[in-house]
């Protein structure tokens, strides 16, 4: 059961994920979460650093689609100014939004990665669809109302995975 919560990779932030590293793995597209993955959950706009990261991916020919459980207005206000495709109200970890992102980018699951800050939504959803998953440290220490419950559950799952020797990184 725990294997579905285990990411394929763990990084400090998205800036450790480079086009070169992705291309080495045959990756053509990124399905990424928004809140606390790219920016703080309460930051309405992309930072210059995130804009540069997205541009770097675009320039390297790597497609990016933001898949968020957040509402359409929040996600649209973030994505439209930077020209990034998105899927909102995604209901992660359900698989429909991940499949839709793959179809939209016209890539196979072996050519994609899922990037996110939550085991219960991003990693579980990506793993269930057979997509390579990358867990990032949350950008902010605070969370929205619904995410707080997930974080509590994630701490328990991670503690158990550590005890079982499944995790080989430090918090």
Which distant-in-sequence residues (6+ apart) come within 8 Å of 167 by Cβ?
6, 158, 161
Arithmetic mean of pLDDT over the chain = 92
CA 66 to chain centre: 8
Classify residue 152: in a domain, yes or no: yes
pLDDT of residue 88: 97
CATH of the domain at 141: 3.40.50.1000
Classify residue 168: in a domain, yes or no: no
> CA 37, CA 118: separation in Å to the nearest integer?
9
> CA 143, CA 141: separation in Å to the nearest integer?
7
The residue segments making up the domain with residue 76 are: 2-163
| HEC string for 103-149 | HHHCCCHHHEEEEECCHHHHHHHHHHCCCEEEEECCCCCCCCHHHHH
Classify residue 140: in a domain, yes or no: yes
> CA 75, CA 35: separation in Å to the nearest integer?
9
Classify residue 69: in a domain, yes or no: yes
* Total tally of structural domains belonging to the chain: 1
Q: How does pLDDT run across 84-132, given as a tens digit for each residue?
A: 999 999 999 999 999 999 999 999 999 999 999 999 999 999 999 999 9
pLDDT of residue 170: 62
β-pair type (132-136, 112-116): parallel
Q: What is the pTM of this model?
A: 0.90
| For residue 162, cis peptide bond before it (omega within 30 degrees of 0) | no
Classify residue 118: in a domain, yes or no: yes
Q: How does pLDDT run across 45-62, given as a tens digit for each residue?
A: 999 999 999 999 999 999
Length of the chain: 171
């Amino acid at each position: 059961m725990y294997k579905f919560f285990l990411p394929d990779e763990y990084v400090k932030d998205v800036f450790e994920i480079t086009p070169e590293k992705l291309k080495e793995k045959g990756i053509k597209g990124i399905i990424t979460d928004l809140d606390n993955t790219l920016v703080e959950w309460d930051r309405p706009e992309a930072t210059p650093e995130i804009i540069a990261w997205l541009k770097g991916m675009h320039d390297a020919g790597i497609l990016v689609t933001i898949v968020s459980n957040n509402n359409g207005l929040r996600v649209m206000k973030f994505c439209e100014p930077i020209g990034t495709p998105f899927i909102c109200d995604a209901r992660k970890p359900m698989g429909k939004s991940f499949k839709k992102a793959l179809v939209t980018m016209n890539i196979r699951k072996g050519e994609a990665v899922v990037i996110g800050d939550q085991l219960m939504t991003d990693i579980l959803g990506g793993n269930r669809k057979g997509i390579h998953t990358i867990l990032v440290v949350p950008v902010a220490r605070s969370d929205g109302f619904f995410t707080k419950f997930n974080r509590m559950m994630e701490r328990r799952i991670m503690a158990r995975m550590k005890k079982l020797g499944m995790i080989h990184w430090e918090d």
